């Protein structure tokens, strides 16, 4: 079994959430938090809990929220040597509320916070990496963050690492679909693995169905597309096969971060040489468990729990 080095880059933020459902953010009401968060950070924490060597490139402020983040990542085994501490700028944050119809609403402070001041990636930061993981949320936050991600992709490819991309983008934040595709293009050119929802896959390619979109991504050079289908599990596309893997039934408490946990399970499965079907099971297990605790990073599964739910037996190293 191989447990290769995984590097994630992007925003480090804390999340502060309403204690009650259907409480809008434009009214006074109670919050709880801070909870460690940020899509790539959730991914990193989950991959580390699965027993892999994980490093992070990001930035926090010189404040208690920054300590909240770095303490959590370090405690779970993430290498935070490349997490910068920015003086005079607050750590990034997000405020979120949930509604009874299942929707959420966020107020983000990312690009204008310490999270937006990513360190410039260097070859040393990517040395020995098997994977680089990045997210559309980072690309959408600011031009400086986009350029840092592009640089990281170039360095990763030059170092022989594979690139995994979760395109969690909203076109309305970026000036429409054409702007979205233009911004994602440099990352997609480097990506070996793309982990979209159906809507994201169609937005990225202009295709009129999820299957056609995934096939278009493969034809453009992506090796594996893991299509997230929520309660229906996932469908995995490669040049050789298409595999549909059902979801696991759990009591969902907080869906935020579940997709990032899925991403980590998928990258870990590929790294360890699991089949695509087994990798889909591990990813689905991580995503399901990720939704069972309040707080976006609090449901990150430990290796034994994820492998057990996925029906993959007792994993090595426990």
CA dist., res. 172 & res. 64, Å (int)? 33
CA dist., res. 304 & res. 293, Å (int)? 17
Nearest to 237 by CA among 229, 171, 138, 271: 229
CA dist., res. 274 & res. 277, Å (int)? 8
Hey, is 233 helix, strand or coil?
A: coil
The active-site residue, picked from 220, 260, 305, 318, is 260
Q: Are 280 and 233 in contact (CB under 8 A)?
A: yes
* Contacts with 287 (C-beta within 8 Å, 6 or more apart), sequence order: 228, 247, 258, 259, 261, 262, 265
31 forms beta bridges with 18
Nearest to 16 by CA among 301, 300, 299, 294: 294
Known active-site residue 260: yes
Q: Are 304 and 314 in contact (CB under 8 A)?
A: yes
Q: Which residues are catalytic?
A: 260
């Amino acid at each position: 079994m191989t447990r290769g080095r995984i590097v994630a880059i992007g925003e480090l933020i804390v999340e502060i959430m309403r204690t009650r459902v259907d409480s809008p953010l434009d009214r006074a009401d109670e919050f709880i938090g801070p909870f460690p968060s940020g899509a790539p950070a959730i991914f990193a924490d989950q991959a580390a809990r699965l027993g892999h060597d994980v490093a992070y490139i990001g930035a926090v402020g010189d404040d208690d929220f920054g300590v909240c983040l770095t303490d959590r990542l370090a405690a779970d085994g993430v290498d935070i040597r490349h997490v910068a501490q920015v003086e005079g700028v607050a750590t990034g944050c997000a405020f979120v509320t949930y509604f009874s119809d299942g929707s959420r609403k966020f107020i983000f402070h990312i690009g204008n916070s310490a999270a937006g001041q990513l360190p410039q990636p260097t070859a040393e930061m990517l040395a020995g990496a098997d994977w680089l993981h990045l997210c559309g949320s980072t690309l959408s936050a600011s031009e400086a963050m986009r350029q840092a991600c592009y640089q990281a992709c170039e360095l990763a490819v030059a170092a022989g690492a594979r690139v995994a991309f979760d395109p969690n983008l909203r076109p309305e934040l970026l000036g429409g679909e054409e702007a979205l595709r233009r911004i994602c293009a440099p990352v997609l050119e480097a990506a070996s693995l793309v982990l979209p929802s159906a809507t994201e896959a169609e937005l990225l390619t202009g295709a009129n169905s999820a299957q056609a979109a995934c096939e278009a991504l493969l034809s453009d050079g992506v090796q594996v597309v893991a299509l997230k289908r929520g309660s229906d599990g996932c469908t995995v596309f490669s040049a050789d096969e298409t595999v549909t893997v059902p979801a696991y039934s759990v009591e969902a408490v907080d869906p935020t971060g579940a997709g990032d946990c899925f991403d980590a399970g998928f990258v870990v499965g590929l790294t360890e040489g699991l089949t695509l079907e087994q990798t889909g099971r591990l990813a689905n297990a991580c995503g399901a468990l990720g939704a069972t605790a309040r707080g976006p990073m609090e449901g990150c599964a430990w290796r034994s729990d994820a492998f057990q739910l996925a029906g993959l037996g007792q994993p090595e190293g426990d």
